[in-house]
Amino acid sequence: MKLLLVEDSQRLRDTLARGLRAAGFTVDVAADGVEANGFLAGFDYDFVLLDLGLPRMDGLSVLRAMPAGGARPRVLVLSARDQVNDRVEALNAGADDYLVKPFAFEEVLARLHALARRPAETRADVLEHAGIKLDARAHEASFNGQRLNLTPREFALLELLLRHRGRVFARAAILERIAGSESDASDRSIEVLVFGLRRKLSEAGCEDVVENRRGAGYLIR
């Protein structure tokens, strides 16, 4: 597994790089955002460990400059910024997970291994998971063969979460992806939307598939 470590503190960078190499990762190191950008443009990585507070170009800008989809590496943000807003901002910018400093090295390893286990995003027309079947072309969803009568937005939400299983979507990200330019849409309307989808799933006998990560957003594992 190839990993790019982006951290401006030399001490932390050296410690992490040593530990990660000992754990079997191939590690490149970058000390600032511009350097990180250069590595990302030139090489393919499985993972990026990314500090947010960086000289020359901050971590969020590095994240936003990364191409979406395709062979994009999985990004674990390591940051001293511990506010919900910081986490949400990083996740919305494309981070896959977020770890607040100070952290134990074992936790970095555990998070990386968890990210490695996540299924890749899929472009399939038919998505199936835990008895749910969603046919994106026919615009039909069912649970154990029983049709779910979803509104277009509930359907879009279910499709989004199924296509990116294991990824947490903040309300703002859901809003951006599925509510589009509708003027009435708000964080609150996303809560109502999630509630409606969960209720319909639950009525069909499908419980607890849409999870709520407090302060971060929603996901289907």
Q: How far is the CB of 59 from Ca ion (least distance, A)?
A: 8
Q: Based on the shown chain and the rule CB under 5 A, indicate whether residue 51 belongs to the binding site for Ca ion.
A: yes
Q: Based on the shown chain and the rule CB under 5 A, indicate whether residue 159 belongs to the binding site for Ca ion.
A: no
The answer to whether the CB of 24 falls within 8 A of the CB of 50 is no
Give me the 53-72 binding string for Ca ion, x by CB under 5 A, dash otherwise.
x-------------------
The answer to whether the CB of 3 falls within 8 A of the CB of 19 is no
Q: Which is nearer to Ca ion, 8 or 191 (CB)?
A: 8
Q: Based on the shown chain and the rule CB under 5 A, indicate whether residue 140 belongs to the binding site for Ca ion.
A: no
Q: How far is the CB of 30 from Ca ion (least distance, A)?
A: 12
Residue least distant from Ca ion (Cβ):
53
Q: Based on the shown chain and the rule CB under 5 A, indicate whether residue 8 belongs to the binding site for Ca ion.
A: yes
Q: How far is the CB of 51 from Ca ion (least distance, A)?
A: 4
Residue type, 210: V
Give me the 9-48 binding string for Ca ion, x by CB under 5 A, dash otherwise.
----------------------------------------
Q: Which is nearer to Ca ion, 15 or 26 (CB)?
A: 15
CB atoms within 10 A of CB 37: 18
- Dihedral pair phi/psi, residue 60, rounded to 5°: -65, -40
Q: Specify the DSSP element, H or E, that contains 150.
A: none
CA distances 196 to 139, 156, 177, Å, are 18, 13, 18
Q: How far is the CB of 83 from Ca ion (least distance, A)?
A: 16
Q: How far is the CB of 98 from Ca ion (least distance, A)?
A: 15
Residues 6+ apart with CB under 8 A from 76: 47, 48, 49, 50, 95, 96, 97, 98, 99, 108, 111, 112, 115
CB atoms within 10 A of CB 211: 13
Note the residues at the interface with Ca ion (CB under 5 A).
8, 51, 53
